[in-house]
Structure 1
Amino acid sequence: MVFEPPQRLVRALGETYGDAAAQEWLGQLPGIAEDAVTGLGLTVERVQAPGGRSSLVLLVRRKDGTPVTLKIAPLEARPALERAALEHWNGWGSVRVLAAFGDGALLLERLHSEVSLRSLPEAKALLEAAGTVRRLWVEPAGDHPFESVEERTGRQASAMPAAADSDTEPLVEAALAARAQLVATTPELLLLHGNFRQSKVLAGERAPWLAVGPEPVVGERAYDLARLVRDRVEDLIAAPAGASVARRRVNKLADSLDVDRDRLHGWTLFRAVESGLRARAAGRHQDAELLLEFAGWL
């Protein structure tokens, strides 16, 4: 199969796994895609672009003409965990898994990839996002394979002090202190999306909005909401009253979903600082500046 991987995918894989590992997988990708398409009896329409940051997304059709989506990810992106989460939700608030092929290919129901919650006005988008994420918060199976919020953030926290400089050191210290306080108690252990934001919720046919692309983790709801709080951060930064709007958003989301305000504030701070440091290390300086300024408002 001959195709050109979207540049967004190429750049993101290089940032995440290193250029050598990314190029190795990208070199194997046409063969992996051909095997999955043949094995599942599909006809390819086109590559979805710009697509995802960790997977190739192909718009395909089944033998009966049904439009579906084929998602292919490297093993480092842990597609088996995504499959486990989606199968556990079984279409309740999320895209439905129709089949799998090999270790990294998932056949998913076709959603309207061009229409995400980011296409809605801000207030409406947050309302629909809250209604969607609420459906995902269910108890995991007893033998679930997912890591905990404490484990995931522990790895992230260990890398943060070395990435700090004199300007960001106070923020990093505050973020690490917030995390330490949060993981000292665990109010609930629910299956979480792990990377929930407006762009991860797409329009569907059997339901108005369905979540895609989970990075599943087990823990408290406040952790899952923390990424949503900073959605459209560029608009918040540009707004004259952006700081107060950001703080009100924390309180509004917490109250609407019965989440503790202080815990949501703490996880929002930690996740914004951690993401800002990673963006800066990857050379995405504008993203880093926005995220760290946002964190400073909290």
Structure 2
Amino acid sequence: MAFEPPQRLVRALGETPDPARDADWLERLPRLAEEALARREVLAQRVQAPGGRSSLVVLVRYSDGTPAALKLAPPAARPDLELAALAHWGGFGAVRVLDSRHHEEDGGLLLERLHPEVSLRSLPEAKALLEACGTLRRLWVAPGAGHGWETVAQRTARQAEALRKAPQEAEALAAQALAIQEELTGAPAEELLLHGNFRQGKVLAGERAPWLTVGPDPLVGERAYDLARLVRDRLEDQVATSAGASGARRRVNKLADALDVDRDRLRGWTVFRAVESGNRALAAGRRREAELLLEFAAWL
């Protein structure tokens, strides 16, 4: 079968810091996929579409008919760190790794098959947030000694460099976000393994468990950072409601209380992450998305 990368992946890799490097990986991707399938002795069924923004996922089957999913990501996406996180969770709250023997050869992840078309976004909002909180409780575990994941302080320090160059229209919010980042990373905080990119769309229906998370961008730090991305889930719906700023603040408080997280730290990280995402969207020319993110940050 043809392994054409979905357009969503092509667009996203075109916005990375080194698009030429990622274009080279995309060009080699059909051959990489064929070789990865052969190494693992699995048969391709179809490419998952629209797929993710950082990887190609091929739905496959073993010769005995057992379903699985093969995920291929460029080296810059650090699939080795994703593998380490998934192995650390061991299938508790997260998708299970079926075979990691060939990972060092091609960076591929052979994972249990979930239902990619059924995420928490298919549930009513209140039920989705309840299930999301239950999933996060399973993921937040001690990282173990000598772990190789970066910390929240390290990741946000890198992101802060880009925020210092924010365009004039985002300058005031960027300054506030930078002050928040400095304050929140200036004092010791929790050290737990975090998903790093957790939201409703990253939690899929499974057979082994009702809901399992996928696609971590793992790091180590405090729970408030991980929960912050979930606060702005279904952002267009939030912006469209009459509740506006008061609704956003209530959501922060509700999620913080549900998971025993400090409200002020959650609000702070929610602002920082929204402004950082909005600044990246501006740089990529995704103006509508940027405006939504910056408006949301201003509410808080």
Q: TM-score, normalised by structure 2?
A: 0.97
What SS class does the counterpart of residue 4 from structure 1 fall into? Answer: coil
Look up the match of 1:207.
209
What SS class does the counterpart of residue 159 from structure 2 fall into? Answer: helix
1:44-90 CA distance string (max 9 Å, x none): 10000000100000000012110000000000000000000000000
Q: Percent identity?
A: 68
CA distance in 1, matches of 2:20, 2:75: 15
Say whether the 8 Å CA contact 2:3–2:33 is kept in structure 1.
no
Deviation at 1:19, TM superposition (A): 3.6
What SS class does the counterpart of residue 246 from structure 1 fall into? Answer: helix
Deviation at 1:18, TM superposition (A): 4.0
CA distance in 2, matches of 1:186, 1:93: 27
What SS class does the counterpart of residue 254 from structure 2 fall into? Answer: helix
Structure 2 residues not aligned, in runs of 5+: none
Say whether the 8 Å CA contact 1:137–1:192 is kept in structure 2.
yes
Look up the match of 1:252.
254
Look up the match of 1:125.
128
CA distance in 1, matches of 2:23, 2:189: 42
CA distance in 2, matches of 1:142, 1:49: 38
Number of aligned residues: 297
Look up the match of 2:145.
142
Is residue 270 of structure 1 aligned with residue 281 of structure 2? no
Say whether the 8 Å CA contact 2:44–2:59 is kept in structure 1.
yes
What amino acid maps onto 2:41 in structure 1? G
Is residue 234 of structure 1 aligned with residue 236 of structure 2? yes
1:130-184 CA distance string (max 9 Å, x none): 000110000012021100000000000011121231x322211111111111001
Look up the match of 1:26.
26
Look up the match of 1:47.
47
What SS class does the counterpart of residue 31 from structure 1 fall into? Answer: helix
Could you list the runs of 4 or more consecutive aligned residues of structure 1 that deviate by over 4 angstroms after TM superposition? Answer: none
C-alpha RMSD of matched pairs (Å): 1.0
1:112 aligns with one of 102, 111, 115: 115
What amino acid maps onto 2:137 in structure 1? R
Deviation at 1:187, TM superposition (A): 2.3
Is residue 152 of structure 1 aligned with residue 155 of structure 2? yes
What amino acid maps onto 1:289 in structure 2? E
Deviation at 1:16, TM superposition (A): 1.5
Structure 1 residues not aligned, in runs of 5+: none
What SS class does the counterpart of residue 271 from structure 2 fall into? Answer: helix
Report 1:67-106 matches (<5 A).
67-100=67-100, 101=102, 102-106=105-109
Say whether the 8 Å CA contact 2:71–2:109 is kept in structure 1.
yes
